[in-house]
């Protein structure tokens, strides 16, 4: 009875640890999607603002044209990053749904979930550094935006209406939270990344030993 109870506890602890790891990875992808989407939106706004003078003048203004070309290239890159993040999110959603269906705590379910996460991590391992960088850049952008709004927030709190102050504080708090999350999530994920690297190495060594064993028995 004690052994069974301990075994169930170990399986539950495994599921809880996997859930934390999966939440950190999911948050990392979401932060990249948010950053890429924001970059595309600001890029389009920049393009429209700089195309308008050329349309009004009915001629090519080379400084604006060069900036528009650079912005178009940046938008294309960010849009591609946005699509990649969305595809990765959709693919990882299958793993997350599998995790929610394994809440009964079966040992085989825990093993299956670990294998699925390892396979997903191995397939996207080369993108991890870029995802971490993207999250940090997004977080830094939100933090800078929050810092630039401090003076405005203080002025509204001092002279604005209660509704306006509440609305401004809500927006400021949201931007600040997103900024802190964008910076913190990569640090959290780094710890789990080391765990997945170790698991992949152990899996590779096990596959190698199994191959040698099969060759020796043939």
Averages of pLDDT over each 10 residues, the chain, 218 residues: 52 79 91 95 93 87 90 94 93 77 60 82 88 94 94 87 89 94 92 83 78 70
Q: Coil, strand, or helix at residue 145?
A: helix
Query: What pLDDT is recorded for position 85?
Result: 93
Supply the pTM of this predicted model. 0.82
8 Å CB contact between 64 and 50: yes
Query: What pLDDT is recorded for position 98?
Result: 66
Query: What pLDDT is recorded for position 134?
Result: 94
Query: What pLDDT is recorded for position 57?
Result: 84
């Amino acid at each position: 009875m004690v052994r069974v109870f301990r075994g169930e506890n170990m399986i539950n602890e495994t599921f809880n640890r996997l859930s934390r790891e999966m939440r950190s990875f999911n948050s990392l992808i979401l932060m990249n999607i948010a950053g890429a989407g924001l970059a595309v939106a600001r890029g389009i706004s920049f393009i429209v603002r700089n195309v308008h003078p050329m349309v009004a003048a009915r001629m090519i203004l080379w400084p604006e044209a060069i900036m528009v070309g650079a912005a178009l290239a940046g938008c294309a890159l960010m849009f591609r990053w946005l699509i990649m993040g969305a595809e990765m999110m959709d693919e990882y959603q299958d793993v997350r749904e599998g995790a929610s269906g394994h809440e009964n705590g079966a040992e085989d379910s825990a093993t299956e979930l670990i294998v699925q996460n390892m396979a997903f991590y191995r397939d996207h391992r080369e993108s991890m550094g870029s995802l971490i960088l993207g999250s940090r850049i997004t977080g830094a952008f939100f933090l800078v935006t929050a810092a630039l709004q401090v003076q405005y927030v203080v002025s509204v709190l001092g002279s604005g209406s209660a509704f306006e102050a509440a609305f401004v504080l809500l927006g400021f708090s949201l931007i600040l939270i997103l900024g802190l999350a964008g910076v913190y999530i990569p640090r959290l994920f780094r710890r789990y990344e080391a765990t997945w690297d170790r698991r992949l190495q152990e899996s590779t060594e096990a596959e190698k030993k199994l191959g040698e064993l099969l060759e020796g028995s043939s």
